[in-house]
Amino acid sequence: MFACMETKNRKVLILLCLLLPAVSYAQGTSARLDSLFKSVAAKDMFNGNVLVAQQGKILYRKSFGYADLERKKLNNVNTGFQLASLSKVFTAIAVLQLYEQGKLRLDETFRTYIPKFPYQEITIRQLLSHTSGLSDQDLAAAFTAFENTTGRRPITTTWWQSWRPPM
């Protein structure tokens, strides 16, 4: 998603992500948020969905721009986006919040929480710091273990469903 954006637009998007909590807290109204995002979207500097929530209550939700520019198909709340490595940050924050709440320990193995995970010695800390040695080719087996343990698919793009490690 970011690779196709001009450097200027990427900087504006990053700045918005950093300033959004301050704007929503200080000004506190969906009208102000709407004004901000409409202004940026009107300049073709933002294309996507925005969801601002506080303590489980949705304060603002809106879609901007096109999911398919050639066909003029607008984004909506169900539009999927390729987020690349951006989701790693959100995952790390969620895991560290669980750690702060005492719901997990960073030096426990991942198998403590997903017993069928195929790699016995990998810890939560190693996964967060990318020091587990787990390669991309190993992820298909990990996703299968997750699905077998939880009875649901991990949130991934559909290409993982048919992916197999190279022979």
Among 85, 129, 135, 162, the one annotated catalytic: 85
Active site residue 85: yes
Q: How far is CA 89 from CA 85, 128, 144, 153, in A?
A: 8, 9, 23, 21
pTM over 0.75: no
Dist. CA 39–CA 33, nearest whole Å: 10
For the chain, domain boundaries: 7-74, 86-162
Residue 19: pLDDT over 70: no
Lowest-confidence pick of 16-30, 31-45, 79-93: 16-30
